[in-house]
Amino acid sequence: MAGKKQLNHIAIIMDGNGRWAERENVERVEGHRAGAKALKRTVEAAMDLGIKYLTVYAFSTENWKRSPKEVNALMSLLRDFVDNDLAEIDEKGIRINVIGRIEQIPWITRRKLQKAIRATKNNTAGTLTLALSYGGRAEVIDATKKIAEDVAAKKIKASAIDESLFQNYLYDPELPDPELLIRTSGELRTSNFLLWQLSYSEFYFTDVLWPDFDKNELGKAVEFYNSRERRFGGR
């Protein structure tokens, strides 16, 4: 159909791990552990559907305010994810990518992530981008600082600043804009995720808690996107 935009990039706010833990009467950490499993399932399901890019909000700039116990548990889950699931992810041809203020991530976790990024850099089946210590406003500010430095150093002219130049200063300039944002657990907010990149995205909200998310739920979100495109695509 004329104008139909192929679904190429899905962004996800993986919300509701804490409420899932409460519902199951287990510790919050267990909710995050189940969330990591849901992430692995979803990466596989997305790749099966031919989605080329998946970007997930794994740790926000605001998440540093959680208890040290919870922050440590999330960092340790990230390390486990790289240690246990990297081989399988690599085998499937998926490239690992990270956006955010990654210098704030503890070095041991960061080192493992960097190893995963290097090991998978030539993979072409799809790209999993983990947003870590990420905030949309922080990204815009970090880009603005670098642009200001380059203007001061006379590398660029202030008059040359436009959307395409700004894009080049984002954490990953190559990352295409997501056509679809999914947020689980019933909250209707973007919570500082991908502020620049979500300008034209469709938003899909579901009450399902992130640890319960699976191939079936992803299918519903994709169906929602396709039905929107059928209605607006031809214009």
Point out which residues bind ligand FPP (CB under 6 A).
14-19, 32, 35-36, 39, 58, 63, 74, 77-78, 81, 130, 185, 210
- Rounded least distance, CB 14 to ligand FPP, Å: 4
Alpha-carbon distances, residue 77 vs 10, 30, 38, 97, 117 (angstroms): 22, 10, 13, 17, 17
Q: What is the DSSP string of 170-184?
A: SS-TTPPPPSEEEE-
What are the catalytic residues? 15, 63
**In the chain, where do the E strands start and end?**
9-13, 53-60, 94-99, 126-134, 180-183, 202-205
What six digits make up the tokens of 219? 């299918």
Nearer to ligand FPP, 12 or 143 (CB): 12
Minimal CA–CA distance to 63: which of 97, 28, 27, 26?
28
Nearer to ligand FPP, 36 or 170 (CB): 36
- Rounded least distance, CB 48 to ligand FPP, Å: 20
CA separation for the pair 167, 21 (Å, rounded): 38
- Rounded least distance, CB 165 to ligand FPP, Å: 31
Nearer to ligand FPP, 65 or 155 (CB): 65
CB atoms within 10 A of CB 102: 17
- Half-sphere exposure (CA, 13 Å, Cβ side) for 218? 26
- Rounded least distance, CB 25 to ligand FPP, Å: 14
Residues 6+ apart with CB under 8 A from 29: 21, 69, 70, 73
The sign of the dihedral angle between the CA atoms of 175, 186, 135, 70 is: negative
Nearer to ligand FPP, 36 or 89 (CB): 36
Nearer to ligand FPP, 81 or 225 (CB): 81
Name 70's bridge partners.
Answer: none
- Rounded least distance, CB 61 to ligand FPP, Å: 12
